[in-house]
A = this chain, B = another copy of it.
Amino acid sequence: MATLRKQYVVSRPVFSEDSFAENYEKINRIHKTTKDHIRQYFSDSKRVKKAALSLLPVIEWMRSYRLKQWLMGDVVSGVSTGLVAIMQGLAFSLLASLPASYGLYTAFFPVLAYFLLGTSRHISVGSFPVLSLMVGAVVTRLVPEDGPPAMIPAFTNLTQDQQRVLVASSITFLMGIIQLAMGVFQVGFVVMYLSDTLVSGFTTAAAVHILVSQLKFVLGLTVPGISGPLAIIYTLEKLFVQIHSTNICDLVMSVVIMVVVFIVKELNDRYRAKLPVPIPIEVIMTIIACGISYGFNFTERFKVEVVGEMVSGYEAPVAPNMDIIRDGGVEAFPMAIVGFTVAFSVAKVYSIKHDYAIDGNQELIAFGVSNMFGATFRSFAASTSLSRTAVQESSGGRTQIAGLISALMAMIVTIALGFLLEPLPRSVLGALVIVNLKGMLMQFTEVPYLWRRDRIECVVWVGTCTAAIFLGLDLGLAVGLGVELLTVVFRAQFPRCSVLANIRGTDLYRDRKDYLHIYEPPGVKIFRIPSPIFFANVEFFRNKLIEAVGFNPLRVLKKRNKALRKIKKMLQQNNYHITETLSSSPEEDHEDQPNLEEPDSPCHMKDLPFKVDWRSEMASDLGVPRVNLQSLLLDFSAVSFLDISALKGLKAIIKEFLRVDVEVYIVSCDAHVLETFHRFAFFDDEIQTFMFYPTLHDAMVQVTETNQSSNYKPMLKATRL
C-alpha cells in the first residue's frame, strides 16, 4: 500500500461546462451520415471484389489447403462423422415425424451447399434434434396421424408420408428464405438477443419435448402427434392411458441399449486421454440391434415397429407448396432463428479455438441457401448438432472436406446400403435419441446457480423453459425473448437512487448513508441518478427526488401562488393600486388546459409593491411550506441515454424546482447526452446551459461560494421597493 501514499494534487480554475467550452475549444467533428458510409463502401473497388469473394469462402480456404498435412485428418474425421450423421439422420427423422430415409437426405444435400458457402471449417451441417422436433410439430399439425390432413389442394393423390415430406420441405424452404434474407440484409446481430441463459432454458425445454416424443417409440405405442399449447400434457395423457399395452420387447431392448450406451459413453469420457478414438458404441449397438431384429424376425414375432422400407436413391426435386408456406409461415421464423443461433454459437467456439474468422451474415446466407437447396431435394431443416461437430473436430477434421466426405457416406447408405437398416426397430432409434439428451437435460442444474447469483436471470431461464415446455417451442421462444427484453428494462427501471455527500478533505462524493464522516453543506442536495432515464422510470425518479429533498416543489409553488393571490386581494381591499386584476392573472389562464409537462406558472411578484421572501416565517403563516433547499445537484454520470418522455419529465421537474427558487445543476453529463439535450430544444429562458458542470466538485465549489455571498438571512424581507 506504500505505493498509494502518493499525493493527488490538482489546482485549476473551477469550470462549468460553459466556461470549459470557452477555454478548451472543441473540434468540430463532422460525423459521417449513413449515406456517406454506403457511398464509401461501394466506391472502394477492392472492397467490392473482396465482398464478392467472401460470398464463396470455399475459394479462400481451398487455395490455402495443405494437402499433405490436412487431407488424412479430414478423411478420418469425415468417415467417423459420417457414421454419426447417418445414425442421427435416421433418429431425428422420427422427431420430424418423417420416414427415416429423409434424415439421410438431410445429412447430404445441405452439406454440399454449406461446403461452398460456409465460413466455419469445423461444424458438421445436418439435422439438429430441436429443429427436427419443430419441423415435426408443423408436420403433425397439418398431417395428423389420425383424422384428415389440412385442406391443401396439393395433398390430393398423395400418401400420408408424401404429404408429410411436402410439408417438411416447404417449411424448410421458407426457413431458408428467411435465413437468406436475414443474411442479405445484414441483420445477423439479432442472435445477440438470444442470451446464453435464454438458449439454455430453451434447449432444456426442447430436451423435455424430445424425451416425451420418443417415449412412444420406446414403449412401442402409437400416439398421434399433438401440437399447440399444452401438447406435452395431452401427449403424456395419451401415453398413460394405454400404458398397459406397452410392447415389452421394445421396452426391454430400449432400456438395455440406453444403459449400455450410457455406461460406455461415461467410460469414453473418463478414459478420453487413453483411448485413441472413443468407442463408437451407438454404431455398434445399431448394428447388433439390426442383426438381432432381422435374425429373430422381431417384426412378425413381437410386432416391433421397424424402420421399414427405405427409399433407395434420390427422388425428383419438389417445389415448395405455397398453401403450406402460408399456413406454417409463423412457425418458420423461430425455426430460422433457432437453427442459425445454435449453428453460429457452435461455429464461434471452434473459430476461437482454431483462431480463424467466421462471418455471421455469411453464415446466415450459407444456411439459407443450404436449407433452400436441401428442401428442393426433400430434406428437412438443417443446422448443426453439438455432438456431431465435436466428433468431426476431435477426430482430426480441419476443413469442410470432412463434411463433404460424411455427406458421401450418407449418399452411399441412401443409394446402396439402405436395405440393411430396414429391420432396425424404431425403439432403438428412440433409445439412442433419449440417451443423448443427458447434456441438455443436465442444464437444469443451472437453476440453483442462477438463483443464488442473479434472481432476474433465473426468472429468464425458468420463464423461457416453462413457456417452451407448456406453450410449445415457437411460442416459448417468443415468450422467453419478451421476458429477456423486459429484464433489461427492469434492471434500468428501479435502480437504487442515492443522496451523495462530500468525503471531507477530498473531491470525492459518496452515498451519505454509507459513510460516517461525511459533509453535506446546508441548503445543498446531491441526488444521483444511477441509470438511463426513459419512459418507464421518469416517474420513479421524480418520486425519489421529491422523497430525497423532502418536499414536492409543485405543491409548494401552488401554495405560494395561492398565498400571493391572497396577498394581492388583501392589498386590493386596502386600496393599494394593483395593475393587474385577479381574473386575468396568468395562473388562471393556464388552468383551463391542464398539461402534465408544464408545471404551475412561476410566482409573479412584479405587480406587488414588495418582494415576498418565501423562506421567512411569514411564509409559513400564509400556509406555504418552508423550503430550506437552495441548490440541487443532479449527478448524471450514469445517465447513458434519455428519451423524449424523460426529457419532458426532466424539464417539468427542473422548472418546478427553479420556480420555487432552488438552483438546479446537472453534473458529469456525458458528451453524447449533452448533445441530446441540445437536439431536443431542452433549453429556454428558465433552463439554460450554465446549469451544467463537469464534476460534482466544480459545481459544489461554485454553489457553496454563491450561497455564502448571497447573504442569505432568515429574516422577513418585505421592504417596500
Binding site for B on A (CB under 8 A): 1, 3-16, 18-20, 22, 24-27, 29, 192-193, 195-197, 272, 348-350, 352-353, 355, 394, 450, 453-454, 456-457, 482, 484-489, 491-493, 495-496, 498, 503, 505-508, 510-511, 513-517, 530-532, 534-537, 539-540, 554-555, 558, 591-592, 594-596, 637-641, 643-645, 648, 668, 670-672, 679-680, 694-695, 697-698, 701-702, 705-706
Which residue of B4, B485, B492 is within 8 Å of A15 (Cβ)? B4
Residues of chain B lying within 8 A (CB to CB) of residue A532: 491-492, 531-532, 640
- Bound form: Cα–Cα A629–B112 in Å: 45
B8 touching A697, Cβ below 8 Å: yes
Q: How many monomers of this chain does the complex have?
A: 2
A536 touching B192, Cβ below 8 Å: yes
- Bound form: Cα–Cα A591–B594 in Å: 68
**Main SS of chain A's interface residues?**
mixed
Among A25, A508, A595, the one with the most B-chain Cβ atoms within 10 Å of its Cβ is A508
Residues of chain B lying within 8 A (CB to CB) of residue A531: 532, 640-641
B349 touching A594, Cβ below 8 Å: yes
B10 touching A697, Cβ below 8 Å: yes
Residues of chain B lying within 8 A (CB to CB) of residue A706: 3
B10 touching A679, Cβ below 8 Å: no
Which residue of B505, B513, B645 is within 8 Å of A195 (Cβ)? B645
Which residue of B10, B15, B22, B488 is within 8 Å of A9 (Cβ)? B10
B644 touching A680, Cβ below 8 Å: no
**Closest residue of chain B to A675, judged by CB?**
B496
A192 touching B535, Cβ below 8 Å: yes
B506 touching A6, Cβ below 8 Å: no
Using A536-B193, A591-B353 as known contacts, say yes or no to A8 and B15 having CB atoms under 8 A apart.
yes
Which residue of B486, B495, B594, B702 is within 8 Å of A3 (Cβ)? B702
A29 touching B513, Cβ below 8 Å: yes
19 pairs of residues in contact across A and B, judged by CB atoms under 8 Å? A1-B19, A4-B19, A5-B13, A7-B14, A24-B515, A27-B515, A192-B537, A193-B535, A197-B644, A272-B592, A348-B596, A355-B558, A482-B485, A488-B492, A492-B641, A495-B672, A496-B672, A531-B532, A638-B638
- A536 → B minimal CB distance (Å): 5
- A503 → B minimal CB distance (Å): 6
B668 touching A352, Cβ below 8 Å: no
A195 touching B352, Cβ below 8 Å: no
A485 touching B492, Cβ below 8 Å: no
A12 touching B8, Cβ below 8 Å: yes
Using A394-B592, A644-B453, A645-B196 as known contacts, say yes or no to A7 and B15 having CB atoms under 8 A apart.
no
Residues of chain B lying within 8 A (CB to CB) of residue A27: 513-516
B705 touching A6, Cβ below 8 Å: yes
- A224 → B minimal CB distance (Å): 23
Which residue of B197, B272, B485, B507 is within 8 Å of A10 (Cβ)? B507
- A543 → B minimal CB distance (Å): 11
Residues of chain B lying within 8 A (CB to CB) of residue A457: 643-644
**Closest residue of chain B to A648, judged by CB?**
B196
